[in-house]
Amino acid sequence: MTTSHYLESYPQLGERVFLHASCQVIGDVTIADDASVWCNTVLRGDVNRIEIGRGSNVQDLSMGHVSHKTKDKPEGSPLIIGDYVTVGHAVILHGCRIGNECLIGMGSIIMDDVVIPDRVMIGAGSLVSPSKVLESGMLYMGRPAQAVRALTEKELTYLRYSAEHYMRLKDDYLKVGKVHV
């Protein structure tokens, strides 16, 4: 089963959402209109919430999870992904916040309480350490990730293009009925 509840929490899906049959979306997960979750991806919103924004995509073999609420940290660490975000293949996102029009490169790991503002590109294989706050309009790379340079106009345009490409792709899949919503 692609979606399942955890206790009293059920995934909430917007319109025209594509969930590949092999993905798992569990518990308190909200996925906005035109978003997509691809092959063998897991979004586990059991001990906190996950929000995926409009037109965003979480690609094959990625994992999204959260940290629970405690006395010292009453909100815990939810996973919040903004609008028109591309999350590349085999990415781990754990209790972080990602702004709008970002690209998270393949194999990257984004840890608890990281804040990635709008229009940031994370290079493939990068590790963003816990609680790091990044700067908008920048390319980050490495383990640990460091700011490398400002994004070019072409790269800034590509951020939205990438998400829109996945919106077209998920629409193709929806047309042929390979969806569980």
Q: How far apart are CA 112 and CA 8, in angstroms?
A: 25
What CATH number does residue 167 fall under? Answer: 2.160.10.10
In a domain, residue 180? The reply is: no
pLDDT tens digit string along 102-124?
A: 999 999 999 999 999 999 999 99
DSSP 3-state of 34: coil
Specify the DSSP class assigned to residue 152: P
Q: Is 152 within a domain?
A: yes
Nearest to residue 98, comparing CAs of 151, 148, 56, 48?
56
Question: How many structural domains compose the chain?
Answer: 1
What are the tens digits of pLDDT across the range 27-67? 999 999 999 999 999 999 999 999 999 999 999 999 999 99
Q: Which residues pair with 4 in a beta bridge?
A: 26
Mean pLDDT of the 161-179 span: 90
Tell me, yes or no, whether 14 lies in a domain. yes
Q: 173: part of which helix (H) or strand (E)?
A: helix 153-175
Please state the separation of Cα 45 from the chain's center in Å. Answer: 13
The secondary structure of 48-91 as a DSSP string is EEEEE-TT-EE-TT-EEE-B---SSSTT-B-EEE-SS-EE-TT-
| pTM higher than 0.85 | yes
Quick check: is 160 in a domain?
yes
Binned at pLDDT 50, 70 and 90, residue 1 comes out as low
SS3 of 94, please? strand
Query: Would you say residue 128 lies in a domain?
Result: yes
Residue 181 lies in a domain: no
The three-point CA angle 75-76-77 to 5° equals 115
Contact 89, 107 (CB under 8 A): yes
Whether 75 and 92 have beta carbons less than 8 Å apart is answered as no
Give the structural domain span for 81: 3-175
Specify if 99 maps to a domain: yes
Q: Is the pLDDT of residue 181 over 80?
A: no
